[in-house]
């Protein structure tokens, strides 16, 4: 089975459309979204509508949860978030907040006898950062019963084996932190012999369109620049 795993779209409809076009060309069997549909970007309702229209299984991200709660419950209280969170709380329609509130915090699949868990941060905390060399990541991989952990939240794609277990972070579709403005997502193929092939796709898109939209809405200059530079 071939899986496309996407995450951290953050209201960026332009990067999402580009990624979905690419996924269609990859002839995958399943697309899974690991959350954070909203926050930062100017098109949260459009992103949710497209995910729903494509009937993509989705889990709840920490920014999704904070927009539902209306407070800094699961996100950091930073200068950018002090603008972005209230803006998203106001902008996201009530029906879409309900959709976000009903999303699960993890998804489990058994694929060709391989147990796979999808989560946003970690299976324990929706806003936990899992970096491939982190001590918390090593400890978690020792503790989980699943064979493959697929997560996001850091906005940085990564892949590492921990013994017989596989750790994958899919990166970010809409707000990358790789030093480039490009969208990233993961292609994971789990074969009948249980071997696992992981590839990351990095795609250029018309990021100047979201920059223009953000500027028209008078978003903070630091936030606008992050779309140009691929930085936080």
Q: Among residues 14, 44, 25, 2, which one has the least CA distance to residue 204?
A: 14
pTM reported for the whole predicted model: 0.97
CA 15 to chain CA mean position, Å? 12
Q: Is residue 140 part of a domain?
A: no
Tens digits of per-residue pLDDT, 185-211?
A: 999 999 999 999 999 999 999 999 999
- Domain around 54: 2-112+171-229
Note whether 201 and 18 are within 8 A (CB): no
- Closest by CA to 68, choosing from 28, 126, 139, 4, is 126
Across 43-71, average pLDDT: 97
- Beginning with the edge strand found earlier in the chain, give each strand of the sheet holding 196-203 in spatial order: 30-33, 2-6, 183-190, 196-203
Whether residue 164 is contained in a domain is answered as: no
* pLDDT over 90 (residue 232): no
Decide if 201 is inside a domain. Answer: yes
Number of separate domains in the chain: 1
């Amino acid at each position: 089975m071939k899986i496309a795993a996407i995450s951290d779209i953050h209201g960026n409809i332009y990067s999402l459309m580009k990624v979905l076009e690419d996924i269609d060309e990859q002839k995958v069997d399943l697309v899974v979204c690991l959350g954070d549909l909203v926050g930062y970007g100017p098109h949260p309702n459009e992103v949710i509508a497209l995910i729903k229209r494509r009937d993509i299984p989705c889990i709840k991200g920490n920014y999704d949860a904070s927009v539902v709660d209306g407070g800094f419950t699961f996100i950091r209280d930073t200068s950018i978030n002090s603008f972005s969170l209230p803006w998203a709380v106001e902008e996201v329609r009530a029906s879409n907040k309900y959709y976000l509130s009903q999303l699960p915090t993890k998804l489990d699949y058994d694929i060709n006898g391989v147990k796979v868990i999808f989560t946003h941060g970690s299976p324990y905390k929706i806003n936990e950062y899992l970096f491939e060399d982190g001590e918390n990541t090593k400890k978690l991989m020792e503790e989980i019963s699943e064979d493959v952990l697929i997560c996001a939240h850091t906005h940085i794609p990564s892949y590492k084996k921990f013994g017989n277990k596989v750790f994958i972070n899919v990166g970010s579709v809409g707000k990358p932190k790789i030093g480039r403005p490009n969208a990233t997502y993961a292609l994971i193929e789990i074969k009948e012999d249980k071997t696992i092939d992981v590839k990351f796709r990095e795609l250029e898109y018309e990021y100047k369109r979201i920059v223009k939209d953000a500027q028209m809405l008078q978003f903070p200059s630091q936030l606008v620049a992050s779309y140009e530079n691929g930085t936080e």
